[in-house]
Amino acid sequence: MDEEIVKIQTDLISEKAFQKLQNQFENNYVNSNASVVGIAGSLASYHVMYGDTNLINSEIEIYRSVTREEIRNVANKYLNNNQRLILEYLPKKK
């Protein structure tokens, strides 16, 4: 697991993986706004969390503007060694 984290922090993800992410996010975005309930849910969270209901029209542009470099940067910024809690589940002692 650590190796994978280090990888994402040092190397850029491949163009292909990046395109795949874009596709999957766009797909989710479209499908989450397919029903009246879905639209209401999106509007509510855009309003409460970001104060901008117009994000329902523009949020996808934010995703599209993300670059591979930015993905590497956030991996470096947030996935730090000193911000982890490792929880180990051990079997009960007999």
Residues between 47 and 86 that touch another protein (CB under 8 A): none
Which range touches another protein (CB under 8 A), out of 5-13, 33-41, 42-50, 86-94? 33-41
Looking only at residues 8 through 27 of this chain, which bind another protein when binding is defined by CB under 8 A?
16, 19-20, 23-27
What Å distances lie between residue 91 and 77, 86, 87, CA to CA? 35, 16, 13
Range 74-79, long-range pairs (CB < 8 A, 24+ positions): 75/5, 75/8, 75/9, 76/9, 79/5, 79/8, 79/9
Specify the residue, 6 or 30, whose C-beta has the smaller distance to another protein: 30
Q: Which stretches of the chain bind another protein, using CB under 8 A?
A: 16, 19-20, 23-28, 30-31, 33-36
